[in-house]
Structure 1
Amino acid sequence: MEFKIEHTWNSFPVSHDPVMIRLTPENAGMLMEVSAPFFNDPPAPPGEPGKPFSGLWDYEVVEAFFLNGQTEQYLEVELCPHGQHLVLLLSGRRKVCKQELLLLYEVSRVSARWNGRVHLPWSYFPPSTDKFNAFAIHGSGVNRIYEALYPVPPHEIRKEQKPDFHRLEYFKSLNLNKLMGEDWKQPLSDLWDFCKWTS
């Protein structure tokens, strides 16, 4: 499965080559690959590459959200071109139940682009994942740019509205059986059992 982020959060076309996201099957999980322009704005976060970094959304980042549309449980994966990452498990809109989970994340930069590869174990995905959205952020201050795979439709934008990546109503269907095979069943996860009891 391949996706291109071609619009800002409020449905304007992006002014650069789009961010690309590819999802492919892997043993015990999914491989997510990112190819994106490298803006180097803001500068690198002050965290060790390869490690989780809280607040990564304030830097240059590509984010993928995997949602169960019925329960509003979702996995948020944030990848930075400088090597830091952040994984959040949320049970309800903006309700974090686990964070800073570990990832096997590799990143490389060639000229004005960066490429990331990350293994996402099935244990991180909410049960019955069926919706998806992806986002990209770069720039500083008033030049901060927020982009979305599935943006807010123009006719639904209100005056003074701000970008909000947790608008779950704009996520669209993701059929994991098309990726994994018709007979595949998503494995259960003890992590989400924990979230159920703590939400």
Structure 2
Amino acid sequence: MDESKLRDDIVRLSRSLYDRGFSVGSAGNISAAVDDGLLITPTNSCLGFLDPDKISKLDRNGNHVSGAPPSKEIFLHRAFYETRPQTGAVVHLHSTFATALSCLSDTDPQDCIPPITPYVVMRVGTVKMVPYVRPGDPKAGDLIRGLKGSCAAVLLANHGPVVTGRDIFSAIYAAEELEETAKLLVILRRAPTRRLAPDQIQELKTAFGSH
């Protein structure tokens, strides 16, 4: 994709997330791969008011080459690109309901988002919990690498979701789907809930691909 267009897409999609409450203040960060490195939203920037020319650019070795200083969560993003070669974009939000699940002590760390709808299976897949480290700690990248590319999305304990996709649009859509499913899970909490059966999940994976 043309880098200039990609910068504009990041600004437009980020503003949409901000306007709909998926991100508040300077929370959240988004990156997307380009031929010679990656673009990432600047540190302490607001997703609702990004300047395309100030979006940070890093080369393939992670060196900052242009734009404002990159998000302090760059370690998270780079770890996904390194371990999931199909990754074209990474979205990290502090969206309310997914973050709520990351704080609940009884959230299953091996399956944070149970398969209660077909679209969470199709767009997100299995979501695991990553142990808490402070925001911006390089150890977060090591924890992501420890998953060896097995998950397209994770919940950072007491922090929020990180979701990947093949491109900026699929990553944004998956992050939105994860948040909406997390909302359903909180609404349905303690109520008897019907999950998709293993054969139904396999049918979705066969028909639409697996994350």
Normalised by the length of structure 1, the TM-score is: 0.28
Name the one with the larger helix percent: 2
**More relative contact order in 1 or in 2 (CA 8 Å, sep 6+)?**
1
Normalised by the length of structure 2, the TM-score is: 0.27
Name the one with the larger strand percent: 1
